């Protein structure tokens, strides 16, 4: 009897336990699926969602007629997320597929302390489709390795323009520290030129794409059909003042030369063409430039990385003679009736200073036309250093032009203070001034300073700081936003400018030193120059503006070691002027849907 009672009791206890377990399980399922089902569903989704950063396309660079000069092209990049990449034995396999040197991936992944291990590290950009297909096929075997679609700069529009455009590169640790809220490791940033100057406009806003992945991290589709994605925003498009046709002509002229050419619209200060030669291939910088290529460019004796248009300094030679003429006319030191005799040599103290020819009696206009050195030797001594330096400074010499690409040299504008500092108060004499009268001596300028000076001569002392940006197309509104410019107004009389401008007209169209470039269809005014060079042949210089009566373009050309200005530099300037003023070539250009005329101002 006791056994039967005990057996019944045990069965009841077991039944109670089983019932309680089932009830608890049902309650747990009810709690998870009904009460907190939404939360756990979200959590489940999170475990199967991969957030893929999307790089925004950079803004396009247009020329003044809305023709593309720098665009974008699609490409694939391979990246590794350190937190997911556990098998380091895969390094050599991936390096082989991507044709990377041994140990390359190890170097990229070495620093896991400064940056989160969940931030993707770029391994290689612009990967070909064959390699991408391999990564897609083997994705399940490569945890933490992903490929993403990006855009790279496209330089296939017929011009190079390396020293004005600049290039982009992967952001450095130093730059990341300064801009940690805007960029992450692996992002690109403008490194120099316009890419750097207008980085905040052209960089765009990054986006995020949410992808569904399986347990092996293989992509199986979009999350919620992309409804929760954060779209990218392309950077603002820049409308530049460059004329692509003139740029092509200038680049072609400098293909086998060293030097620089800058063309400016006199009334606005807008840069029409900008060349520094030799150049380098911007396509080499569209992706990560190799150390070998970087070393090759740095060691090249021709210095292709050096921006000669804004950084090279040299004596301006006879192109500077108009400064002394303007200063002397404005200050009443001379008139058009003032004359000096040129016997072919000028003696000061125990030194003799030569002229190219025996010109005889010259006034200021004929002295500019014939480029008579003796006249200007006499003139600067009569004018004095202080006034000469004062007027040269008015035209922007001895100071930066504030051009909107960053790197720029000031050059040297001698003054009494300068000579006292260099030689001591009693260490120099008035004899130092003689060479300055013809643009030699300690005086040094840059090509862009010469172009600004020429623009001011052309437009009677009115212009603006040289600049590339006409404006930009706002990515939010689609409207054109004009650039802010700093205008220049020199307090110099029209009569003085007329005298000097007429002399420059005769340089080309009279009996001057540049009659070889005279054209019947375009009236060019100019001035030749030959700059002394202690390291070889002199540099060839020419400045010009046209048309004479209504100047639309001002040009400064400097060709290294090329001799007389009339021989080499002047024909280049003529061809640039012709390319710009040839309205048929401009009007026949294909119109774009995004033409500036259709953009709201």
What pLDDT shows up at residue 597?
Answer: 35
Q: What sign results for the dihedral spanned by CA atoms 352, 354, 360, 365?
A: negative
Contact 353, 373 (CB under 8 A): yes
Query: Cα angle vertex 20, ends 16, 21, to 5°?
Result: 120
As a whole number of angstroms, the distance between CA 465 and CA 471 comes to 15
The mean predicted confidence, pLDDT, of the chain is 86
pLDDT digit string, tens, across residues 217-275: 566 677 776 677 788 889 999 999 999 999 999 999 999 999 999 999 999 999 999 99
- Burial (0-12, 13-18, 19+ Cβ within 10 Å), 514: buried
- What distance separates the 2 farthest-apart alpha carbons in the chain? 152
- 2 has pLDDT over 60: no
As a whole number of angstroms, the distance between CA 550 and CA 505 comes to 13
pLDDT digit string, tens, across residues 139-170: 888 888 888 888 889 999 999 999 999 998 88
As a whole number of angstroms, the distance between CA 549 and CA 211 comes to 65
Banded model confidence at residue 306, pLDDT cuts 50, 70, 90: very high
As a whole number of angstroms, the distance between CA 318 and CA 570 comes to 13
Structural tokens at position 126 = 């612009």
Return the closest-CA partner of residue 581 out of 274, 272, 276, 309: 272
Domains of the chain are: 50-240 (3.90.1310.10), 258-277+312-472+491-586 (3.40.710.10)
Pairing of strands 340-342, 525-531: unpaired
pLDDT digit string, tens, across residues 112-147: 556 677 778 888 888 888 988 998 888 888 888 888
Rg (CA), the chain: 35
Strand 259-264: give its sheet, edge to edge. 271-277, 259-264, 553-559, 539-546, 525-531
**Averaged pLDDT, 421-432:** 90
Banded model confidence at residue 586, pLDDT cuts 50, 70, 90: very low
As a whole number of angstroms, the distance between CA 101 and CA 123 comes to 12
Banded model confidence at residue 436, pLDDT cuts 50, 70, 90: very high
Bigger pLDDT: 501 vs 226: 501
Q: What percent of the chain has a predicted confidence (pLDDT) above 90? A: 56
| Contacts of 285 by beta carbon, 8 Å cutoff, 6+ apart | 167, 168, 169
| Number of neighbours of residue 279 by Cβ within 10 angstroms | 17
Structural tokens at position 222 = 């979009």
What pLDDT shows up at residue 126?
Answer: 85
What pLDDT shows up at residue 43?
Answer: 45
- 23 has pLDDT over 80: no
Bigger pLDDT: 43 vs 238: 238
| Number of neighbours of residue 113 by Cβ within 10 angstroms | 7
What pLDDT shows up at residue 231?
Answer: 83
Contact 155, 70 (CB under 8 A): yes
Return the closest-CA partner of residue 526 out of 510, 541, 549, 545: 545
As a whole number of angstroms, the distance between CA 7 and CA 5 comes to 5
**Averaged pLDDT, 500-527:** 96
**Averaged pLDDT, 486-502:** 97
Q: What percent of the chain has a predicted confidence (pLDDT) above 70? A: 85
Banded model confidence at residue 29, pLDDT cuts 50, 70, 90: low
Return the closest-CA partner of residue 567 out of 541, 543, 546: 541
What pLDDT shows up at residue 590?
Answer: 37
- 527 has pLDDT over 80: yes
Most confident of 3-7, 32-36, 479-483, 581-585: 479-483
Which SS3 state, helix, strand or coil, does residue 69 take?
A: strand
Most confident of 155-159, 217-221, 363-367, 420-424: 363-367
Full 3-state SS string of 272-332: EEEEEECCCCHHHHCCCCCHHHHHHHHHCCCCCCCCHHHHCCECCHHHHHHHHHHHHHHCC
Cis before 547? omega within 30: yes
């Amino acid at each position: 009897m006791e056994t039967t009672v005990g057996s019944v009791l045990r069965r009841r206890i077991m039944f109670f336990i089983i019932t309680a377990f089932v009830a608890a399980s049902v309650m747990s399922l009810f709690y998870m699926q009904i009460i907190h089902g939404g939360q756990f569903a979200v959590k489940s989704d999170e475990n199967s969602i991969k957030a893929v950063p999307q790089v925004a396309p950079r803004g396009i660079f247009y020329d003044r007629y809305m023709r593309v000069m720098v665009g974008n092209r699609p490409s694939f990049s391979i990246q590794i997320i350190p937190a997911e990449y556990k098998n380091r034995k895969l390094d050599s396999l991936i390096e082989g597929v991507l044709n990377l040197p041994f140990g390359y991936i190890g170097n990229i992944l070495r620093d896991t302390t400064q940056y989160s291990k969940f931030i993707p590290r770029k391994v290689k950009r612009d990967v070909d489709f064959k390699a991408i297909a391999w990564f897609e096929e083997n994705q399940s075997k490569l945890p933490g390795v992903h490929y993403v679609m990006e855009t790279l700069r496209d330089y296939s529009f017929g011009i190079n323009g390396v020293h004005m455009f600049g290039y982009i590169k992967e952001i450095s640790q130093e730059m990341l520290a300064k801009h940690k809220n805007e960029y992450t490791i692996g992002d690109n940033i403008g490194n120099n030129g316009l890419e750097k100057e207008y980085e905040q406009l052209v960089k765009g806003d990054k986006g995020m794409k949410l992808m569904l992945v399986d347990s092996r991290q293989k992509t199986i589709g979009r999350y919620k059909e992309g409804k929760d994605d954060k779209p990218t925003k392309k950077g603002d498009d820049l409308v530049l003042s460059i004329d692509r046709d003139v740029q092509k002509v200038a680049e072609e002229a400098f293909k086998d030369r060293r030097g620089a050419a800058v063309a400016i619209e006199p009334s606005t200060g807008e840069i029409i063409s900008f060349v520094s030669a030799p150049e380098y291939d911007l396509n080499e910088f569209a992706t990560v430039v190799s150390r070998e290529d970087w070393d090759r460019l740095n060691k090249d004796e021709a210095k292709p990385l050096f921006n000669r248009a804004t950084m090279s300094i040299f004596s301006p030679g006879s192109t500077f003679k108009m400064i002394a003429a303007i200063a002397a006319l404005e200050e009443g030191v001379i008139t058009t009736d003032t004359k000096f005799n040129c016997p072919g040599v000028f003696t000061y103290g125990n030194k003799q200073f030569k002229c190219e020819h025996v010109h005889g009696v010259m006034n200021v206009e004929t002295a500019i036309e014939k480029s008579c050195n003796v006249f200007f030797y006499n003139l600067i001594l009569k004018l004095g250093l202080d006034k000469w330096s004062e007027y040269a400074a008015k035209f922007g010499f001895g100071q930066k032009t504030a051009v909107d690409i960053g790197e720029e040299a000031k050059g040297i504008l001698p003054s009494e203070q300068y000579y006292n500092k260099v030689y001591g108060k009693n260490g120099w004499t008035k004899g130092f001034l003689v060479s300055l009268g013809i643009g030699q001596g300690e005086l040094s300028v840059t090509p862009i300073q010469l172009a600004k000076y020429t623009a001011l001569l052309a437009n009677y002392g009115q212009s603006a700081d040289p600049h590339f940006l006409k404006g930009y197309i706002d990515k939010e509104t689609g409207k054109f936003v004009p650039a802010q410019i700093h205008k220049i107004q020199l307090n110099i009389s029209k009569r003085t400018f007329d005298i000097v401008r007429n002399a420059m007209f005769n340089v080309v169209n009279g009996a001057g030193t540049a009659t070889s470039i005279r054209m019947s269809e375009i009236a060019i005014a100019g001035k030749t120059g030959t700059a002394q060079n202690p390291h070889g042949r002199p540099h060839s210089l020419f400045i010009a503006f046209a048309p004479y009566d209504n100047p639309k373009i001002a040009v400064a050309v400097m060709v290294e070691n090329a001799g007389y200005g009339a021989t080499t530099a002047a024909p280049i300037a003529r061809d640039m002027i012709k390319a710009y003023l040839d309205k048929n070539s401009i009007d026949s250009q294909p119109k774009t849907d995004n033409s500036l005329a259709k953009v709201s101002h």
